[in-house]
Structure 1
Amino acid sequence: MNHAPRTRLAGALALAFPLLGQAQTTDQDKPMESVVVTGSRVIVNGDNSPTPVTAVRAQDLLSLQPSTIADALNTLPVFSSPRNQTSNPSAGGAAVSGGGNPASNQLNLRNLGAVRTLVLFDGHRVAPTTANGTVDVDMIPQMILKRVDVVTGGASAVYGSDAISGVVNFVTDNRFNGLKTNIQAGIAEKGDARQSQFGVAYGTSIGDKGHFVGSYEFRDDKGILYRSSRPATALTTIQGAGTAALPYFVAGDTRLATSSFGGYVRTGVLAGQQFGANGVLTAFDKGNRTGFNPTVPTQSGGDGAYYDGSLKAPLRSHQLFGRFDYDFSDTTRGYVEVAGNLKRNAFYANWPLLNGVTISRDNAFLPTAYRDQLLAANQATFTLGKVIQTAPRMNPVIDEHQLFVNAGLDGEFGNGYKWEAGYVHSVSSMLVTTNGNLNNLRLSAALDAVAGADGTPVCRVTLTNPTAFPGCVPLNVFGPGSESAAAISYILGDTHFNAHTFQDDISGSISGAPFSTWAGPVSVAVSGDWRRQAYRATSDATSSDPANLFGCAANGLRFNCTQATQPWFQPYSNRSRVAQTVKEAALEFNAPVLKDAAWARTFDVNGAVRYTNYDTSGTYLTWKVGADWHLNDEVRLRSTRSRDIRAPTLDDLFASATTASGSNATDSLLGVQSTAPNTTKANPDLKAEKGDTTTVGVVYQSSRVRGFSLALDAFDIKVSDAITQVQGTNFSYQAACYASGGTSPLCATQIRALGNFQNTPGNVVTQWFSFPINFAKVHTWGADFEANYATSIQGRPLTLRGLVTWQPHLRYMTPGLPTQDMGGVAYGANGLQASPVWRTTLFARFNPTKALTLDVMERWRSALALSADPTQVTTGSVKSFATTNLNIDYRIKLASGTVNLYANVQNLFNRIPPGANFSGTQQNPGQFGGFPMGDDPVGRYVAAGLRFNY
């Protein structure tokens, strides 16, 4: 069963799918007989679709980007700023705690967010692989993948929620016969990012009525474990204050100005020095702070500490797929397909940071000379900043298990009527093991070290309250590497978070042509869908037991513990089972209006309407109208207008509150740093987003120049009631709250000591909040251009294809805040990422001999501004960036099949992305960012492999 009709390859595919006939494998030897057109149930010819569709054969993309299908798809310019293995995975603690995988491979059409891109597998909705509503497309089996269709227009009336920016449909080769394998290995020029993969697929007929196809794939990508392995961007941050006096600028070699690897003394008589070897105080090199914000403790160069998170998250996966089709009769068919994915991602975040911890004068590890200085100054304590570089970095390991079962029947009856019925069951589990999670309460106990009865350092609580922290090991923080392995092991622990997502989907449809007009048959389809999705999660590191419940003083903790202190640095939330049920009914039609008229060879109108009821967020009506006008055999015009929705996810509605202590944020009202706890929570009152999309296009297929075609499609997308994650720590949201005098809804993102929003001493933030609300509008527009040309040079085939996206504006409009236009900008608020105005991908394929194929891909994006916030002053910009990929394939024909030997070079000229970052990185050098999302930070990468087809 497929949610789209079939069409012949004549004419339509020469334009819409120009590379489909150019496969390097055995597909070269067998023409494609039919194709499923994504986007409609009633359009019977791909030439007549009013909705723009970009279709690419999977092998074509994977030949030039031979890693994951997500990486390959993200080379197309309609996608922008995708989350993947290199998209700042070390910044994903909050995403993991919310039920997501920050190192997953996602698809982001128009840079409107992965949650607004609907993913289909053989025409069926793929359930979210995580609770935050996104789909990790690593679950898609690649060996048996035939092609990928990308619908670049709203499609909720046909497919339901989430299709605001478009649809990506992965289509399997379910009629494949034979055996094929692929073996590949690769390595970066730097000697890291080693990757190997193996795949096998087999298909065969079973009797006269049955057919089986199955595949297995193994992938092992070692990743890049240290950002410092790419020093050009490793410690790049944005600094300054965003004002005319101190504009934001990109700074290199950034470090923390009040923390060092040996321990920097922040207060008291010893202040301004750092502990060196054997706990001896030495001078601290303050580096360069020219142009830096004086309230932000960072510097360029010098002795300050920094982080060194992973640059590319490792990936290891096993993919399995099987499908069985059976013809029960000439008019009735059935199928069952099963896809499974066992996958592991891992990434590395911070070393433990002691951010201004209080140290007692009587600390047993403190040299006597310094204790005497403190005593003479009548100073009982001092504060210290240190990054414990000898400790392991926090290391979340994410194990995903995904199962997708799709079964159905389809057939024909009467005079050309078709029917289909299907059931999809999806299960996804995600186990996150956070190795090296810092236990803040144990840290508090271990930092308060005193001399025991025999003079040996012990934890003070061991003497005062021995049952509170059994096994406590005192922590020596005076000097680089001063901490014992036992003490580090004591303050760090491995915590676990286990999330499960379930979805059941029952659907059916009937389509046919009940009557005809003077121009041809009118096609009509009715369909219905019932879907239920559920989610639950368990954790052994929740934020529900802060120290006020635990009791700091009652358990002997004198310092570094307050009523807001959370037990774990990275908490996770339990979530009892929550669910939502969706009921849908839809009607679609396609009506020919003109045929063989003087000014129209054909003119068709197309429409769809869908009723959708969510028991969690309400009832909605979506619709779509379209027109396809063939002026003649060369030129046609197409246009669509649609109303689409994106319903809130279970995570948006019901996620349990998670509180992280020590936010290390800036309180812009008082101009001070805040370490108040930050709570992320859900909003059960959310409603669906509404999208209004218009597309207008022209297609030209030359009859004079053989093999030449052009397509130009303009788009305009407006999203209202956009679900926005408002964050109290965000500078812009703070400014809007303070400007309103406390009346703005954004003021609910913080609580202050005096209960008001006046700049009064002591009126500090005591609690930050982050939660989603239907608060914003989003508006983007632009155009997609595609050109294709197939010719020959001295009798040898040459194919050229160019894809260009022009997206000059992507505006986020929030009440009470300045509009942020991400068009041509690298970074925006709430994690908004790069949206180049121009994105271009060029393909060239040449066969100098019958056996040899050369493929070249060139990608380019235009230059970017640093910030989308018009109230922020910045200097400099992010230069344009381009990379080139080359693939060489040599085919050897054997008696039993063919062998393809291939070599691939990604980023052939070893281009280094320009350094860039956003304001949230000021105090996090080396933790994330350093380059615009979507750029290639790996550098030149070489892969080679062998494909066998029998």
Structure 2
Amino acid sequence: MSQKNYIFSLLSGASLFACPMVAHAQAAAEAAPSEDIVVTGSRTTKNGNDSPTPVTVVSKDMLTDVRPTSITESLNVLPVFSGSRGQTTNPSATGGVGGGNGNAAQLNLRNVGATRTLVLMDGRRVPPSSFTNIVDADVIPQMLIERVDTVTGGVSAVYGSDAVSGVVNFITNKNFNGVKATASAGISQYGDGRQVNLGIAAGTKIGDRGHFEMSYEFRDDTGVLRRSDRSWFTRPTVVASVVGSTAAAGSAANPWTLIENTTLANFPFGGRIIGCGTACGLAGQYFATDGTLSAFANGTATGTSGIQSGGAGGYADNSLKSAQRTHQAFARFDYELSDAVKFWAIGSYNYKRNSFFADDIQLSAVTMNRANAFLLPAYQSQMTASTFTFSRTLAQAERFNGIPVTTQYMFAGGLTGKVAEWDWNVAYTRGTSKLETLLRNNVNNQKLAASLDSVLVGSTPTCYAATQSATAAAYADCKPLNVFGPTSSSAAALDYILDDTNYVAWTRQHDVTADISGSPFDTWAGPVNVALSGEWRFQDFRSQSEATPTQYAVCPPTSTGGVLNCTPFNPATGAGTILYRQTFPASPKISQSVWEVAAEATVPLLRDVPLIQSFDVNGAVRYTKYNTVGEYWTWKLGADWKVTDDLRFRGTLSRDIRAPTLNDLFAPTSVVIVNNNDLKAGSPVPAPGQLPSVNQSNPNLTAEIGNTLTAGAVYKPSFAPGFSFAVDYYRIKIKNAITTVQGFQQPIQQGCYDQGIQLYCDLIVRNSSGAVTSWLVRPVNLSVVETYGFDFEANYAGQLGGRPLMLRALAAWQPHIRYIQPGTTTLDQGGVAFGPTGLIASPSWRVTGIMSYQVTDGFKFDVMYRWRNKLKISGNPTDNFVAGQGTMPAYGQASLNLSWKVPDGRLVEQSEFFINIQNLFNVNPPIGNQTNTGTGAGGFGGFAVGDDPIGRYFTAGVRVKF
């Protein structure tokens, strides 16, 4: 077989789910005719044809043709990815899901969790980017990426812990010579979401033995900073439907219903008086205009108190897509020290800045003096108590703005060589990631309390605390806050109560690896290939924070002699208001080290016998020892049966692990303020307001254990050259799964109230009167995660009218993702749009179709169509919905790429202009939301992640090579 045909065979049928473009494979073969393409599935096989583990091989050129943006966004068009996070997921920073940057590019295979997908670059671990051990894949330099290998089966025995659902390996082009550059700009049909992408790469030989290459890239994406910028976003939420019902929300007697134009009746933009004493006629009125009360304009009531459709209530307007700016620099040098030994070294620098806007400030039933300097005397006289309670959405202030900035350095170097028939490698990698998260417009509760309590000094409103000798110095700069009306607050007062706080975290990783592979002997069926490897890895983490959950407000004196706005938020002591609304814990240095040794072998058993052209078995075993969570064995067994040149079968069994992260084990306590209802029948309900969700670590965690089965077939009929069809079955079961259990979750509350499970009851903290004062959140080895499905791919590479034509259809069927947890109803997230604990959409059918046609030597077009099936809103089988609701329609969108190549010139070797249109027909995503999301109106969900919320998007650019 010629080298070109060999490479074509490799890439069109190398795996059960391969998807490189044939033209690109041929170009690679012509550029490097003496080199095999070594894919990621195994250390003992030279290419995917021999690997028993399914491997998706996708070229960078294909990704940029169908979606000319970041490679990580482009990868997510492949159906094997589901549940990945990025710029259009719900904006967050604090909390376990946010991890300091909730818009990080988190690749997720099979939607069983990004932490169970191992991210590599050239076979080496990429250092994590946040305290949740997530790798933000956008830090990968892209100009010199040649292809991306995705292993869609458990391979912990081959590549180490965390590879439970698979591996994503970014492969760089190590032999690039010349100079290439790219420039593009894009904008949405609505005039927002502007993007600029610039990149340049250069490579050259150094003498006869050396090679150097480098690249730089810049990306600027302004994002879409308000959800209201899209007309289809109608603030959909899912709430109880029966007004006044005492039946549990979501029960048959009080089913869930989807409402639009959701408003929070108690939080209008001008503020509302909640209570002002017995028989006070002002209770329930609101400030429709500055300073003047009006009867509240109610919308349509729902089965959840305070949640309405329409009316004068307030709502949020969070970012739809976060803004992003990146700088990436990469360099690689290699030198042949001898004919048998090569030295190499790489260095990379990555800077990534996201910016997103989240909720407006909410004043939730704050207690105020009726003699407040800004309240008209006519209203003061009608109040029958000395104080009143007041709520408002303070949209006049700037929204909370999270700005995470990741700066990551990676240096690696090593030696590769050959001794007789043995190949060996030794490498050291050091990665350092610095995450700085600026929380802009973070409410300072101490300043807020002082600012809300104003008195008249002469005719001038003044903070009461500034008039008292004991506190005058501390509050000399206090600015009184007028909250009575939509535009009543002064800029000076808003600036006083809002601070900018900073969080800085450092993650450092040292990684030393060594491996040797070769063929020590032959069997009757061919050479036995063996690989031995070892790895030592050390990781540490530390952080500093200007707004920690252990900082408490020093409540100022009040004009009523009471304690203003200092409700019991501290779950440890039952007293004290947290100083800042949004917090990060500061962490001392915590660390973890691990030793791993592994062996792998591929043994050919049969060759050229009836019905068996070849039959190989593959096995791997790994011993892993953590200094924190103990010792583990992982293994993999696989077989590859080639019946004929047309048909082959293969399959694997594996045992894999994922160790708990440093954050899971040792993170200090952090607090996020949330709105959630107490579902216990008859329990005291505190005044409407926000409660702390207290995030705790768990040093007693152990590793998760995953068991994976894959089996499939590849058919390349000789009577239809250029056509191939592949199908692959997989089943994953993860035991001892680390689950973050949240006390406010409905299943957890029901597990406590209905079944008395103490573990769950311990997560709900109540005061002496029985009212909930805080919710606890902690990781535990509690769950079993099960999923199974099929991957399909059909390829055709041929000609139409004498011109090259490529057709490709890729599909994934994943009907169930079950989360089995003691004492709770099993959640099945397969085919579901929303879920708890950060779970996001996982369609049970995901399909991508691609057609590429070379119309002339210079003009080519590519069409891509992506489709998902209808989704359920909830994976909880006990949830009931109003008839005709509970699902979101199927969704599909098309994209078009047109490219023109200019004939080669004297200076320019290649040049190409392109126009790309994403969401060609401007299809709006179906609306929906998670159950019980009324309090997050305008700020959470609204569409299934993976659907396109931006709309038709135009990109134009040029690529040149000198």
TM-score (norm 1): 0.95
Q: 2:880 is matched with which residue?
A: 873
Deviation at 1:484, TM superposition (A): 0.6
**Structure 1 CA distance for aligned equivalents of residues 922 and 26 of structure 2:** 29
Please say if residues 565 and 661 of structure 1, whose CA atoms lie closer than 8 Å, have aligned partners that are also in contact: no
Q: 1:823 aligns with which of 830, 841, 851?
A: 830
Q: Deviations over 1:844-887 (max 9, x none)?
A: 10001011110011000000011011121124110011011100
1:262 maps to amino acid:
G
Q: 1:49 is matched with which residue?
A: 51
**Structure 2 CA distance for aligned equivalents of residues 486 and 10 of structure 1:** 68
Q: Closer, same or farther in 2 for the Cα pair 1:660/1:139, shift >3 Å?
A: closer
Q: 1:113 is matched with which residue?
A: 113
Q: 1:780 is matched with which residue?
A: 787
The farther-off stretch of 870-879 and 789-798 is 870-879
Please say if residues 21 and 28 of structure 1, whose CA atoms lie closer than 8 Å, have aligned partners that are also in contact: no
Q: 1:439 is matched with which residue?
A: 444
Q: 2:464 aligns with which of 437, 460, 469?
A: 460
Q: 1:326 is matched with which residue?
A: 335
The SS at the match of 2:750 is helix
The SS at the match of 2:351 is strand
**Structure 1 CA distance for aligned equivalents of residues 961 and 740 of structure 2:** 49
Q: 1:902 is matched with which residue?
A: 914
Q: Closer, same or farther in 2 for the Cα pair 1:613/1:550, shift >3 Å?
A: farther
The SS at the match of 1:37 is coil
Q: Deviations over 1:736-769 (max 9, x none)?
A: 011233x431112122224xxxxxxx31112321
**Structure 2 CA distance for aligned equivalents of residues 459 and 24 of structure 1:** 72
Deviation at 1:7, TM superposition (A): 12
1:826 maps to amino acid:
A
Q: 2:351 is matched with which residue?
A: 342
Please say if residues 48 and 55 of structure 2, whose CA atoms lie closer than 8 Å, have aligned partners that are also in contact: no
Give structure 2 stretches of 5+ with no counterpart: 241-248, 568-574
Please say if residues 363 and 393 of structure 2, whose CA atoms lie closer than 8 Å, have aligned partners that are also in contact: yes
1:878 maps to amino acid:
M
Q: 1:680 is matched with which residue?
A: 695
2:10 maps to amino acid:
A
Q: 1:860 is matched with which residue?
A: 867
**Structure 2 CA distance for aligned equivalents of residues 812 and 109 of structure 1:** 16
Q: 1:103 is matched with which residue?
A: 103
1:261 maps to amino acid:
F
Deviation at 1:54, TM superposition (A): 0.9
The SS at the match of 2:163 is coil
Please say if residues 434 and 504 of structure 2, whose CA atoms lie closer than 8 Å, have aligned partners that are also in contact: yes
Q: 2:748 aligns with which of 702, 719, 733?
A: 733
**Structure 2 CA distance for aligned equivalents of residues 141 and 18 of structure 1:** 22
Q: 1:517 aligns with which of 513, 518, 523?
A: 523
Is 1:143 aligned with 2:143? yes
**Structure 1 CA distance for aligned equivalents of residues 192 and 175 of structure 2:** 39
**Structure 1 CA distance for aligned equivalents of residues 557 and 640 of structure 2:** 71
Deviation at 1:661, TM superposition (A): 4.8
Q: Deviations over 1:781-803 (max 9, x none)?
A: 00000110011111101001111
The SS at the match of 1:203 is strand
1:892 maps to amino acid:
V
Q: 1:930 aligns with which of 932, 942, 959?
A: 942
Q: Closer, same or farther in 2 for the Cα pair 1:713/1:488, shift >3 Å?
A: same
Is 1:693 aligned with 2:724? no
The SS at the match of 2:492 is helix
**Structure 2 CA distance for aligned equivalents of residues 557 and 593 of structure 1:** 84
Q: Closer, same or farther in 2 for the Cα pair 1:675/1:466, shift >3 Å?
A: same
The SS at the match of 2:876 is coil
Deviation at 1:702, TM superposition (A): 1.4
The SS at the match of 1:685 is coil
Q: 1:753 aligns with which of 767, 771, 790?
A: 767
The farther-off stretch of 913-922 and 648-657 is 913-922
**Structure 2 CA distance for aligned equivalents of residues 236 and 564 of structure 1:** 35
1:240-639 to structure 2, matched below 5 A, reads 240=240, 241-268=249-276, 269=280, 270-289=282-301, 292-295=302-305, 297-374=306-383, 378-414=384-420, 416-452=421-457, 454-464=458-468, 465-547=471-553, 558-562=563-567, 563-639=575-651
Please say if residues 860 and 899 of structure 2, whose CA atoms lie closer than 8 Å, have aligned partners that are also in contact: yes
**Structure 2 CA distance for aligned equivalents of residues 403 and 781 of structure 1:** 38
2:237 maps to amino acid:
T
Please say if residues 629 and 637 of structure 1, whose CA atoms lie closer than 8 Å, have aligned partners that are also in contact: yes
Please say if residues 532 and 581 of structure 1, whose CA atoms lie closer than 8 Å, have aligned partners that are also in contact: yes
Please say if residues 21 and 31 of structure 1, whose CA atoms lie closer than 8 Å, have aligned partners that are also in contact: no
The SS at the match of 2:614 is strand
Please say if residues 8 and 34 of structure 1, whose CA atoms lie closer than 8 Å, have aligned partners that are also in contact: no
Q: Closer, same or farther in 2 for the Cα pair 1:669/1:424, shift >3 Å?
A: farther
The farther-off stretch of 334-343 and 462-471 is 462-471
Is 1:178 aligned with 2:178? yes
Q: Closer, same or farther in 2 for the Cα pair 1:348/1:28, shift >3 Å?
A: farther
**Structure 2 CA distance for aligned equivalents of residues 655 and 556 of structure 1:** 39
Please say if residues 224 and 312 of structure 1, whose CA atoms lie closer than 8 Å, have aligned partners that are also in contact: yes
2:853 maps to amino acid:
F
Deviation at 1:611, TM superposition (A): 0.4
The SS at the match of 1:869 is coil
Please say if residues 461 and 555 of structure 1, whose CA atoms lie closer than 8 Å, have aligned partners that are also in contact: no
Deviation at 1:236, TM superposition (A): 1.4
**Structure 2 CA distance for aligned equivalents of residues 26 and 49 of structure 1:** 23
Q: Closer, same or farther in 2 for the Cα pair 1:8/1:470, shift >3 Å?
A: farther
Q: Deviations over 1:241-264 (max 9, x none)?
A: 212232112211111111111111
1:367 maps to amino acid:
L
Give identity over the alignment, percent: 45
Q: Deviations over 1:670-694 (max 9, x none)?
A: 4645644321111111111110000
Pairwise CA RMSD of aligned residues? 1.9
Please say if residues 647 and 714 of structure 2, whose CA atoms lie closer than 8 Å, have aligned partners that are also in contact: yes
Please say if residues 239 and 932 of structure 2, whose CA atoms lie closer than 8 Å, have aligned partners that are also in contact: no
1:260 maps to amino acid:
P
**Structure 2 CA distance for aligned equivalents of residues 366 and 25 of structure 1:** 77
Please say if residues 555 and 563 of structure 2, whose CA atoms lie closer than 8 Å, have aligned partners that are also in contact: no
Please say if residues 665 and 674 of structure 1, whose CA atoms lie closer than 8 Å, have aligned partners that are also in contact: no
**Structure 1 CA distance for aligned equivalents of residues 773 and 798 of structure 2:** 69
Q: 2:207 is matched with which residue?
A: 207
Instruction: Give the aligned length.
Output: 926
**Structure 2 CA distance for aligned equivalents of residues 733 and 99 of structure 1:** 23
Give structure 1 stretches of 5+ with no counterpart: 1-5, 755-761
Please say if residues 520 and 528 of structure 2, whose CA atoms lie closer than 8 Å, have aligned partners that are also in contact: yes
Deviation at 1:633, TM superposition (A): 1.1
**Structure 1 CA distance for aligned equivalents of residues 286 and 765 of structure 2:** 35
1:501 maps to amino acid:
T
Deviation at 1:920, TM superposition (A): 4.8
Q: Deviations over 1:18-59 (max 9, x none)?
A: 634324998697477431211211113431211111111112
Is 1:886 aligned with 2:919? no
Is 1:764 aligned with 2:771? yes
The farther-off stretch of 572-581 and 234-243 is 234-243
Q: Closer, same or farther in 2 for the Cα pair 1:50/1:577, shift >3 Å?
A: same
**Structure 2 CA distance for aligned equivalents of residues 719 and 380 of structure 1:** 59
Deviation at 1:839, TM superposition (A): 0.1
**Structure 1 CA distance for aligned equivalents of residues 676 and 376 of structure 2:** 30
Q: Closer, same or farther in 2 for the Cα pair 1:555/1:546, shift >3 Å?
A: farther
Q: Closer, same or farther in 2 for the Cα pair 1:467/1:556, shift >3 Å?
A: farther
Q: Closer, same or farther in 2 for the Cα pair 1:36/1:670, shift >3 Å?
A: farther
Q: 1:3 is matched with which residue?
A: none
Please say if residues 7 and 34 of structure 1, whose CA atoms lie closer than 8 Å, have aligned partners that are also in contact: no
TM-score (norm 2): 0.94
2:496 maps to amino acid:
Y
**Structure 2 CA distance for aligned equivalents of residues 45 and 461 of structure 1:** 74
**Structure 1 CA distance for aligned equivalents of residues 151 and 27 of structure 2:** 27
Q: 1:22 is matched with which residue?
A: 23
